[in-house]
Amino acid sequence: MQPHAAVHLLLHLVVPGVVAAVWYPQRWARAWLILLAGWLIDVDHLLADPIYAPGRCSIGFHPLHSIPAIAVYGALVVPRRTRLFGIGLMLHIALDGIDCMFM
């Protein structure tokens, strides 16, 4: 694994952890797990050939990383019941977007 990829994966763990600890200190572990569920959208990588390509930007390439999907994730932030999951999805997309900027 390339060092850049390792940092990217580490950020996908650490950033939701920081968000959970700062905004949900009383239930940070539960909040962190729900935020980490944002990783579920990476299942769309299985549709690509190759599954992992180091120089490929996920945003706009994979179906669950598309603009319409991102709009749905933003909408999930509004209702209280889905807010944490929506935030987790949006954090995931933001981190992937930052990764794309450095490619």
pLDDT at 2 over 80: no
Burial readout 11-37 (b: 16 or more C-beta within 10 A, e: otherwise):
ebeebbbebbeeebeeebeebbebbbe
Residue 55: per-residue pLDDT: 84
Confidence of residue 14 (pLDDT cuts 50, 70, 90): very high
Model pTM above 0.75: yes
Residue 54: per-residue pLDDT: 80
pLDDT at 21 over 90: yes
Residue 53: per-residue pLDDT: 84
Of the candidates 24, 23, 22, 14, the one whose C-alpha atom is nearest the C-alpha of residue 91 is: 14
